[in-house]
Amino acid sequence: MSAQTAIRVTHLSKTFNQHRVVDDVSFTVPAGEVFGLLGPNGAGKTTILRMLTTLLTPSAGHIAIFGHDLQTAGRAARACFGVTGQNAALDEDLSARENLLIFSRLNGLTRAQARQRTQELLNEFSLTHSADKPIATFSGGMRRRVDLAISLITRPALIFLDEPTTGLDPRTRTQMWTTIRHLVAQGSTVFLTTQYLEEADTLADRIAVIDHGKLIRTGTPAALKEATGASKLVLTIADLDQVTPAAQVLATALEAHPQVSGHTLTTPFHTTDQVAIGLSALKRAAIPVAHLAVQAPTLDDVFMALTVGQN
Amino acid sequence: MTHSLFQNIGTMAYRNLLKTLHNPDQFMDVLIQPILFMILFGYLFGGAIAGGVHAYLPTIVPGILAQTVLSAASGSGAQIREDVDAGVFDRFKSLPIARIAPLAGQLLADSLRLLVATVASLLTGYCMGWRPNVAFGWVVVILLLAVFIGWAISWIYALVGLLSSSAAMVQSFSLMTMLLLAFLSNAFVPIKTLPKLLQIIATLNPVTYVITAIRQILARGTLTPTAGWVFLMGWGIVLVFAPLTIWAYDRRN
């Protein structure tokens, strides 16, 4: 049983100066799963992650990593996982190769093994060209790659990623996602925190939503989206007189309640077919559409929907 | 565990020395300062204090030696602070290694830096005409004593580095204490020339004892009681400050 459970968290709390940052959080991550912890800034994501990685001691509750209780077997637990933090924790003065070599040695590899593993990781993360330049000269994306490479030295069964793509440009973000998917394909369990719903959606099997230190809901991305309502179709109608008739047309065609604001109509929808239905209904009614946009549910929507649902 | 504590400490020390090699600015300060001071003070004050550079050298060489280990030791606080700020220590903490390894590695590397800096000071003295009247073995003894004391003191600065709020604060604290301890002692002038209050302070200053011990060994070619006390004082510092420093390192939990 415990062998199949990567992370078991029971009634975890953390209090800083009488301020409850994490409040009675419990969840279980089975081995092989990608588990996303989703929440806005200051929700307690990083605090939970720091407790999971033994950097903070919980005020109450228990954490077990692959069956090792962190309070009694912290060192055995630390041998099971790798961490990639929010700020790449690297030696700025040292090169990528030196950083990898030193951390390989600290992870118990022999000199020869360390050299070999370093070369493997440099290849895998396309860092061979800059391997011997100091980290201080690296871009944000390259730093993250070195950082991730370091946490993969021991091929850990469990990898913690703290906001792995925050502050990265879209291209680097996509590269990072590919790397993470590759890890998952190799059978690693991944625990990631993020503030992007899209990221949790593309990567995670299951998502826990957290706000003000409390676990609001745990579920698959699909279940979560169900709770958020839907995507929104945003239409701009050129002629102000036609906005009200357009709203009526959409309301009938989509069985929804469009929100009107100036020239803009915002209508929730569930399937892409509905977009086509709505647009052709407008065309039949001879109402020209000046601009069209589709809004995916944002983290705001998730919180609105979930917290409203709770109250 | 499968790999030994000593190997981890060795790796940490290696990391630290690599950093010094890649970014030698801070270490150059430690290295150039004693050479500069030795030349400057020797020729500037030698005549006034001892009637000549040559007669002043037995006074100033141990003085500069003590000042060198003090300033090198005070540098370790700032470096630890930088590592903490960069988040590198957090990563060390999540590794399956003993928690003392990063600190011990840093301080081991510091001892090597101390050794280089003290050798440089003595060589400068030699070039200026300093010739100790004792067997070479005793020169090695005072060198090791100086390095040991510097290593002990670096635990204090490591603690300061871990407890203070910023690297800049550590640096100014280090500089201030280093200047006070080095100059309010018998390092450069005979204590009896000082005003009464400063005489009391200088006599109580532990640096005075270190310098006295070094001078005695170099003059007599034997271990003196003062040297014994200094050795015990070094261990006293380590016994008090090493646990405190480790506590401060773990405290961030």
Where do the structural domains in chain A lie, given as residue ranges? 2-220, 229-310
pLDDT per residue as tens digits for the range B68-97: 998 888 888 888 888 888 777 777 877 778
**End-to-end Cα distance, chain A:** 36
Long-range contacts, B101-105 (Cβ 8 Å, 24+): B101/A106, B101/B5, B101/B8, B101/B9, B101/B11, B101/B12, B102/B12, B102/B249, B103/B158, B103/B245, B103/B246, B103/B249, B104/B9, B104/B12, B105/B8, B105/B9, B105/B10, B105/B11, B105/B12, B105/B13, B105/B14, B105/B15, B105/B16
Domain enclosing residue B39, as ranges? 5-251
Determine contact, residues B103/B84, Cβ cutoff 8 Å: no
Please tell me the distance from the alpha carbon of residue A169 to that of residue A181, in angstroms, as a whole number.
18
Residues constituting chain B: 253
Strand-pairing partners, residue A261, are A264
Q: What is the pLDDT of residue A192?
A: 92
Contacts of A81 in chain B (CB under 8 A): 94
pTM of the predicted protein model: 0.73
Cβ–Cβ of A83/B22 closer than 8 Å?
no
Q: How many CB atoms lie within 10 A of CB B12?
A: 25
Q: What is the pLDDT of residue A9?
A: 94
The DSSP element (H or E) to which A60 belongs, if any, is: strand A60-65
Find the DSSP H helices in A66-139. 74-78, 96-106, 111-124
Reply yes or no on whether the pLDDT at B121 is more than 60.
yes
Reply yes or no on whether the pLDDT at B2 is more than 60.
no
Cβ–Cβ of A53/B92 closer than 8 Å?
no
**Dihedral sign for Cα atoms in the order B147, B149, B152, B156:** negative
Interface subset of A 66-95, CB within 8 angstroms of B: 75-76, 78-79, 81, 83, 85, 87-94
Residue B90's nearest CA partner among A204, A260, A178, A90 is A90
Q: What is the pLDDT of residue B240?
A: 96
Query: Residue A269 carries which DSSP code?
Result: E
ipTM, two decimals:
0.77
The DSSP element (H or E) to which B110 belongs, if any, is: helix B101-127
pLDDT per residue as tens digits for the range B218-234: 998 888 999 999 999 99
What average pLDDT values come out for chain A (311 residues) when binned by 10 residues?
A: 78 90 93 89 87 90 92 85 77 90 90 94 88 88 87 89 84 85 87 85 89 87 72 87 88 85 86 86 88 77 62 40
**End-to-end Cα distance, chain B:** 23
Q: What is the pLDDT of residue B152?
A: 93
Please tell me the distance from the alpha carbon of residue A67 to that of residue A77, in angstroms, as a whole number.
8
Topology annotation, domain A229-310: Alpha-Beta Plaits (3.30.70)
Question: φ, ψ for residue A130 (rounded to 5)?
Answer: -105, 15
Query: Residue A109 carries which DSSP code?
Result: -
Determine contact, residues A265/A234, Cβ cutoff 8 Å: yes
Give residue A22's Cα distance to chain centre: 18
Q: What is the pLDDT of residue A219?
A: 87
Q: Map residue A208 onto helix, strand or coil.
A: strand
Region A2-220: CATH code: 3.40.50.300
Mean pLDDT estimate for chain B: 88
The DSSP element (H or E) to which A63 belongs, if any, is: strand A60-65
- Say if B25 is an interface residue toward chain A (CB within 8 Å): no
Number of compact structural domains in chain B: 1
Q: Look up residue B149 and give its two tokens.
A: 């004391």
Q: What is the pLDDT of residue A167?
A: 78
Q: What is the pLDDT of residue A311?
A: 40
pLDDT per residue as tens digits for the range B198-214: 999 999 999 999 999 99
Determine contact, residues B45/B125, Cβ cutoff 8 Å: no
Q: What is the pLDDT of residue A227?
A: 67
- Say if A15 is an interface residue toward chain B (CB within 8 Å): no
Q: Point out the residue among B14, B22, B94 whose CB comes nearest to the CB of A53.
A: B94
